[in-house]
Amino acid sequence: MGGGALTGTPARPADWRAVLFDLDGTLANTVPLILSCYRHTMLTHLGRELPDQLWVPHIGRPLRATMGDFARDGAEAERMVVTYIEFQRRVHDEMTRGFPGALETLTALRTRGVRLGVVTSKGREMTGRTIGRCGLSEAIDVVVTADDVVVGKPDPEPVLRALAELQLEGKGDEVLFVGDSPHDMVAGRSGGVRTAAALWGPFTRAELEATRPDYWVVDLAAVRELRPDSA
């Protein structure tokens, strides 16, 4: 008899070649930090705190692009960026921790031979601090930050950069991008990879549904159960 699978026996699902993760709000529980930095920046430059709901839709975009929507001109936007980052440096470590299951999920995926990446709109310095604070440094193969691209999410450039660094161009159907924001989902879909919407971030399911994610995950442990043919 031949060596093929027995008739009627389902083939084992193929695994991902790589899984990419957003950082803030996906692997790292940093939304309170982000909002604290935003409030401080608006108070410093505008003389008052603005409602959180004005900032939340921008979470997941590069900081400089977002500040341009709040500042009165380009020079003020640059000053706001400096204020935000300086305050973030002071309070980052005490306000940053990984979400439950983050390290366990990355470890489980690596054990299966899946390569891992972080694709974030954060700058390189603070990305490194966040990953380190969450204890994830040794588990990640590739990191793409806002400092590594010309255009950040929701543009697909950061996702395409990660695929290039992993030498997986043209294999997007075998790569998963997990993120908590519509910006992640748009970048992933435009970059040709499969997308999984994380439901533990600051965005509602209704806000994420418009981006047509391939998968929904209620926690990081659920990411381990996904396979390319399980959508």
Instruction: Read off φ and ψ for residue 196, nearest 5 degrees.
Output: -130, 120
**CB burial of residue 90 (10 Å; 0-12, 13-18, 19+):** exposed
**Region for 60 from its dihedrals, namely left if φ exceeds 0, alpha if ψ lies in -120 to 50, beta otherwise:** left
27, amino acid identity: L
Q: Are 77 and 67 in contact (CB under 8 A)?
A: yes
Output the CA torsion sign for 86, 142, 201, 186.
positive
Catalytic residue among 15, 22, 73, 229: 22
69 is catalytic: no
Residue with tokens 């470590």: 93
As annotated, the active-site residues are 22
